[in-house]
Amino acid sequence: MHLDRILSLGPLAFQGENARVSRVVTAGGEIWILKAGGTVREGEVVAALAAHQPLVPAFFGESAQGLLFSELPGQNLAEVFAQPSRHHARLAHALGEALRQIHAWEPPLEKQTTSWREAALARVRATALAHAGERIAYNFSPFSGHEYGALAAWVEAESAKTPPALAFCHGDACLPNFLTDGGTITGIVDWGDGGWADPRFDLATALWSLRRNGAPECQDDFLVGYGWEGGTESLALFEAVYTLWE
């Protein structure tokens, strides 16, 4: 696909990663979202999720400049949570509902031959090796200050005692990737890491993002919206994996 009829092209502050995403308006009045640096995998995932439009964008194909998607309505949750509002708890609840919905999807994507857990543990080991002898700097994780190697060893031990789970997951369930009209989730973007994984990793990612975006008090609202009854402490293993996810 060639972008030879562009009327305007500008950075987009509210869908996905601002530095890589632009809003394209063609001479014919069409509006596309251009993601520079997007992977072929992301296009495949979004195409496989076509049945779930308009919650996910339509995928129009690849151009020399990047991947082309439809524009979704709404403002990303990170921007919304940056502003004072009495609706943050309700939006955290809606985020939980949206993740529960995603985890029930059955898109026609092949499940990994190597289990997600094996791949995650390999990544944890690599991070610990790269930071041998170092402590984790403060990064909104409950494991900030822990030694990398010790935390990786704890993850290995806890993983051996924790039954696996598998569902279709977003893979990067951070607030900037969820759009809202102020009351509901209107769109979900940035599907490059989407695939079959342990759904508890999505939950841990969202908990971290709520803290990162100044809303630690909304963590319980998020878990209630999802229907998770174990509390934040029951996701400690997956919070540790996310902390070591480099």
Q: What does pLDDT average to over the chain?
A: 91
Give pLDDT, residue 12: 53
Q: What is the pLDDT of residues 23-49, one digit of tens each?
A: 888 777 788 888 887 788 999 999 999
Token pair belonging to 116: 């997600």
Give pLDDT, residue 29: 78
Task: Place 172 in a pLDDT band, splitting at 50, 70 and 90.
Answer: very high
Given a cut of 70, whether residue 19 has pLDDT beyond it is no
* All structural domains of the chain: 6-72 (3.30.200), 76-243 (3.90.1200.10)
Spatial contact of 78 and 218, defined as CB atoms under 8 Å apart: no
Given a cut of 90, whether residue 182 has pLDDT beyond it is yes
Give pLDDT, residue 114: 75
Spatial contact of 61 and 37, defined as CB atoms under 8 Å apart: no
Give pLDDT, residue 23: 84
Looking at residue 137, the DSSP 8-state letter turns out to be P
Q: What is the pLDDT of residues 68-82, one digit of tens each?
A: 999 999 999 999 999
- Is pLDDT larger for residue 20 or for residue 79? 79
DSSP readout, 48-83? HTGGGTTTSPPEEEEETTEEEEE---SEEHHHHHTS
Given a cut of 90, whether residue 196 has pLDDT beyond it is yes
DSSP readout, 102-133? HHT---S-PPPSS-HHHHHHHHHHHHHHHTTT
Model-wide pTM > 0.85 = yes
